[in-house]
Structures are given as C-alpha cells and as structure tokens.
Amino acid sequence: MDVKKKMAVFIISDSIGETAYNLATAATVQFPDVEFDYQRFPLTKTTSLLAGILEQAKRADAFIVHTLVGKGLAAYVNKFCAENQLCVLDGMSKLIQTISSKTGTTPLLQAGRNHKLNKTYFSRIEALEFAVTYDDGKDPTGFLKADIVLLGVSRTSKTPLSLYLANKNYKVANLPLVPQTRIPEELWQVDPKKIFGLTNDPQVLNNIRRERLVTYGLNPETNYSNLNNIEAELAFAEKLYHKIGCLVINVSNKSIEETATLITESLPLNH
C-alpha cells in the first residue's frame, strides 16, 4: 500500500485568515496524493507572536502561507523563512506594493479591511435572511422580490445554491417541484431571465436520494427514490421550464460554485 506524503501548512494572518486559507487550499487541492496538515494562526499582529509560530514551523519544516499586511510583519516572516530555508507564499505584500507603485498612493496597511461592517456586509445579511424566508416556496410573494428564482425537484441543490448566492448579495427564492402540485400564480409574473430551472440525471438523483434515506436510517426503497418516479418528476420539471422559457442547468456534474457562476453570468445586465 502506498503511503501518502505528508506536508504541514502553516496559515498565518493578522486578520481572520480566510483569504490565506482559501489561497492555500486552492493550490493544495491539486495534490490528492499528499496529506496536508493545515494549522491556522489568525489575528497574529505582533512579531513576538510570529516568533513562536515560526519556530514551530521550522521544527515541522512547514510550508507557510500568509496574508500579513501590518507594518513589518510580512517582511519579518519572509526574512525568517529565507534564513531558515522554509518555503513561503506571501499572498499580500507584493500585490499591495504593485498597486501602490502603479497608483502612486500609500496603502493603509490595516488588517481585516475587507471584513468591516459596511454596506456590502449588511446587504449580504439581508440576502441571507431573504433566502431563509423564501426557501422551499414557503411564501410565493418572494418570487416577485427576488433577484433570482430557482426551480427544481427534490435534491437538485436549491437551498445550498440559494445560500451561496446570498453570500454574493443576491436575493434568492426557490420552489420545489412536485408533479400535480399547483404552480403559484406569482411565478408567472417573474421575468423568465431571472428564473433558473435545475435538473439532474435520473440515476445520479436516484443515488443521492437513496443515500439520504440511508443517512436518516430509513429504507432506501421508497417512492421518493424510485427511478421511474424520478424520471416522471424530471419530465414534469422540463415541461414547466419549457413553458416558462427559463435557462435550464443540469447540476449532476457541477459544483455549487460552477452552477452559481452560470446563473450570475446569465442574469440581465440591469440586475
């Protein structure tokens, strides 16, 4: 049996470290045969704290990813790594220096600037509250207020997609589709360009529903997971999508992020 290579990754930030973590994982996911040990050190704002962390990194021969912007912190880490033959990725200082040079302006060098409670933050909270309120068609009036309306049979990622898009400041309402169920009148009043029909491959949906039932300790052989019933549900949905004239997206081989990008890039320009 092959033993996976192991690598320690120290993620250091003088803010919450979300950017540094995303940067590190975006790269390390490309190496499935390596076992990465992520150690996160957020809110590291002094060289005394850094000194202890860097000594740990030296003992672990760690790869260091940092997004330090506080005065002197990035230089302190980079110098230590150079002197101790540690691999380091500085995710901020060169970018900041380039912008400063290009614009002729001086950077603030304040950690966590993108997490301040600004208009965008409150807009995102409002969008998240909207997604929860108008999830699963609980209130059809939400379709008239939404930036995006998602339609789909059960287990086509409507709710997680709604929440992901809400994090991007879009107000999203969604409606589960069940054959023989009345479609709310409000849906027909929505611009079809703001409506997106989600579908899936029958066998993929069958597997997802069976696994969900097993997770809840239920018998996987039910009408809910029956392949013929699933095909009928999908046919009903496809017919509705055609009648509405909305964009149809098959989510079977797409991540939430990929589907969300397709949706946002297809929205009317005056959103």
- Give the 3-state secondary structure of residue 241: helix
Q: Where are the alpha helices (DSSP H) in the chain?
A: 18-28, 47-60, 73-83, 93-103, 119-133, 142-145, 158-166, 202-215, 227-244, 256-266
Residue 63 identity? F
155 is in an annotated binding site: yes
162 is in an annotated binding site: no
CA 62 – CA 87 distance, rounded (Å): 7
CA 251 – CA 254 distance, rounded (Å): 5
β-pair partners for 249: 198
Residue 83 identity? E
CA 66 – CA 58 distance, rounded (Å): 15
β-pair partners for 8: 37
71 is in an annotated binding site: no
Query: Do residues 44 and 76 touch, judged by C-beta distance below 8 A?
Result: no
Helix (H) / strand (E) containing 197: strand 195-199
251 is in an annotated binding site: no
For 31, what's the count of Cα atoms within 13 Å in the CB-facing half-sphere? 13
153 is in an annotated binding site: yes
Annotated binding residues for ADP, as ranges? 152-159
Annotated binding residues, as ranges? 152-159
